[in-house]
Amino acid sequence: MIGTKKLNRRKYKKLKIGLILIILVFILTAGMAMSYYNKAILPMEVENPKDISLEIPLGSTSKEIAKILEDNGLIRNELIFRIALKKKNAESSLKAGSYVLNTSMSLYEIIDSLSRGGKNNNVVKFTIPEGYELKDMAKKLSDEGLVDFDRFMDLVSDKANFEDKFPFLKELNKGQSLEGYLFPATYEIYVDSTEEEIIEKMLSKFQQEYEEILKEEMNKVDMTLNEVVTLASIIEREAKRDDERHLISGVFHNRLRINMPLQSCATVQYVLGERKENLSREDVQIDSIYNTYIHSGLPPTPIASPGEKSLIAALNPADVDYLYFRAKEDGSGGHIFSVTYEEHINADPSK
């Protein structure tokens, strides 16, 4: 019995010593790692600094940028650079361009410089607002001297021109245009970019949104990708306020469920080719598959390019009983939502 106690004490002592050693090794390792990190962020050369000219290509990842910097003798270690980026929350702020950096700059000074942007007359930015149609994009980009209007419209008229590079396009109908699938955002491109390259950049952004946001959420609704984007495009054109996107989605989902026409003014405006403030009786009777006043269900394709918030709203309708909404007249951009038609026609839009 006594021997067993002594044995247990020895085991405990050995365990305690082992634990202390592990802690000491951990502390020593952490200290060495911190020491290495602090050294790695220092300038490469202070006494004999020199300027380094380099190019950060458009679309470069943080890993690719780190390699460029290391290859040019501006940083000591790619991994430390990427860790520093995370610490500064600057992973998405690095900009393409031509830079003249100096070996006397610390790693954090280099990050700040790359975040401000370099001098590059070969790069230009353009912004596509949410809710734009293909023709709006073509006109804007044409006016900015970035594309030929007719060439752009010809390329986006058929998904077949790009579906080999973008698999999600195979889910669309044969011969369908890219309406709704050129993602609205701000882009950086080279000034001599072709129409194809610009379109591919916008499709790449949509694919990113699809992979990161839509794909996992698609099981929430019994809809195809094309139906989701089509509904999102209608929500985009109808909603003026972010806090109403899910409510408007709820109204449309309720109508679709009971096979009630969506009666969206935005779909008629798409047919007319203009965004009239008030539609006439003749307008809402126009003979078109896109006219949701006379046809139940969704139109065959999107009517504009929806942004992320409208795409999310299309997949996450508010749990409401509303079947109607009408615009307020108080300048707020808001709507009055109603369950019954009687409530709808009696709603006071001035309130």
Judged against a pLDDT cut of 90, whether residue 107 lies above it is answered with no
Judged against a pLDDT cut of 90, whether residue 183 lies above it is answered with yes
Judged against a pLDDT cut of 70, whether residue 288 lies above it is answered with yes
Three-state SS for 224? Answer: coil
Judged against a pLDDT cut of 70, whether residue 2 lies above it is answered with no
**Which tens digits make up the pLDDT trace of 135-149?**
999 999 999 999 999
Please give the CATH topology (third level) of the domain spanning 51-116.
Dna Ligase; domain 1 (3.30.1490)
Residue 338 backbone phi and psi in degrees, to 5: -135, 155
d(CA 134, CA 161): 15
d(CA 277, CA 149): 27
C-beta atoms surrounding 155 within 10 Å: 21
Judged against a pLDDT cut of 70, whether residue 313 lies above it is answered with yes
d(CA 246, CA 236): 11
Give the mean pLDDT of 62-84. Answer: 89
Judged against a pLDDT cut of 80, whether residue 266 lies above it is answered with yes
- Determine contact, residues 245/310, Cβ cutoff 8 Å: yes
Write down the mean pLDDT value for the chain: 87
Most confident of 5-19, 282-296, 324-338: 282-296
Comparison of pLDDT for 94 and 16, the residue scoring more:
94
**Which tens digits make up the pLDDT trace of 12-57?**
666 666 666 677 666 665 555 566 566 767 888 867 778 888 888 8
**pTM (2 decimals)?**
0.68
- The domain segmentation of the chain, as residue ranges, is 51-116, 124-217, 221-346
Judged against a pLDDT cut of 60, whether residue 93 lies above it is answered with yes
d(CA 348, CA 89): 48
Q: Which residues contact 158 (CB under 8 A, 6 or more apart)?
A: 175, 176, 177
Confidence of residue 275 (pLDDT cuts 50, 70, 90): confident
Which parts of the chain fold into alpha helices (H)?
2-40, 62-71, 78-88, 107-116, 134-143, 149-155, 195-209, 215-217, 225-238, 245-257, 265-272, 308-315, 341-346
**Which tens digits make up the pLDDT trace of 190-244?**
888 899 999 999 999 999 999 888 888 888 899 999 999 999 999 999 999 999 9
